[in-house]
A and B are shown apart, each in its own frame.
Chain A
Amino acid sequence: MKLTVLVYSAPYSTEAAYSAYRFTASALAAGHEIYRLFFYYDGVHNSNASSAPPQDEFDLVKAWSELIKTHKLDAISCVSSALRRGVLDAQEAARYEKEAASLGSQFVLSGLGQLVDANAKSDRVMSFGA
């Protein structure tokens, strides 16, 4: 089945983001296709590479990044959600004259049109953290 995973929640605030990660990994292991990961609303914090949890805790941002890299997933962070929350790529950091770019290298900033496209092209959209 062709799936899109939509994440509304930040890491560590609720379990939803971790559940989304586990679901994605399990779906891939079961042979399903992940058409797109879309991080929206507080979910954009999953793409913040500046996240630095204690060493004895699960590093969700790192885990997402490795999963995306291994399976060559399309991982989008909603640009309007991300800019508000300080998750910027180098281009946006320069444009808004901010001190730091924190978007993880495995993620891409783009618009809600990418969610609508994923909605049209996927068999199911699974939402986490609504």
Chain B
Amino acid sequence: MSSPNPPKTITFISRSTPYGSGRAKACLDMVLSAAVFEQRINLVFMDDGVWQLQAAQQPKSIDAKDLSAALSALPLFEVSNIFAESEALSSRNLDPAALAIDVKACSAETIAALIRESDVVYQL
């Protein structure tokens, strides 16, 4: 399939826990597919989605694949605009400096601005 033109700005909002449902994985798969087709991508973690960023996950104990390992592939797909809502992190006692991958901690206002500047928004 030819690369869709022109590229659009797509914001993905990932707001589900990593293993409680398939939503986090499904959202990441959408991000990676869009990245393959060279769209402009923002990835935002908010609400329970920030649990995906927890370092040292041990999903083998529940026979699950390590989602945070998959997240670490994002730079290979040139997805670098990755954000996490500060309040979602702090209310869950997650340190922005000690997460599984590098993200930009940001305010709800920043996320609102990202949404306004996007052509399309997906949330899962």
What residues make up the interface of A, taking CB atoms closer than 8 Å to B? 6, 8, 40-41, 80-81, 111-113, 115-117, 119-121, 125, 127, 130
List 9 extra interface pairs beyond A116-B36, A120-B5, CB under 8 A: A6-B122, A40-B26, A41-B22, A41-B124, A112-B33, A113-B1, A115-B33, A117-B4, A130-B122
B16-48 CB contacts (< 8 Å) to partner A: 22-23, 26, 29-30, 33-34, 36-37, 39
Min Cβ gap A61→B in Å is 21
What are the residues of chain A within 8 A of B120 when measuring CB–CB? 119, 125
Q: Is the interface of A mostly helix, strand, loop or mixed?
A: helix
Which chain B residue has the least Cβ–Cβ distance from A80?
Answer: B29
Check if A112 sits within 8 Å of B122, measured CB to CB: no
What residues make up the interface of B, taking CB atoms closer than 8 Å to A? 1, 4-8, 10, 22-23, 26, 29-30, 33-34, 36-37, 39, 120, 122-124
Task: Tell me, in angstroms, the Cα distance from A95 to B33 when the chains sit together.
Answer: 24
Task: Tell me, in angstroms, the Cα distance from A8 to B26 when the chains sit together.
Answer: 10
17 A–B contacts from the bound complex (CB under 8 Å): A8-B26, A40-B26, A40-B30, A41-B23, A41-B26, A41-B124, A111-B33, A112-B33, A116-B33, A116-B36, A116-B39, A117-B37, A119-B10, A120-B6, A120-B7, A130-B122, A130-B124
What are the residues of chain B within 8 A of A6 when measuring CB–CB? 122
What are the residues of chain B within 8 A of A115 when measuring CB–CB? 30, 33
What are the residues of chain A within 8 A of B1 when measuring CB–CB? 113, 117
With A8-B124, A127-B122, A130-B123: A116-B26 Cβ-Cβ less than 8 Å = no
Check if A119 sits within 8 Å of B123, measured CB to CB: no
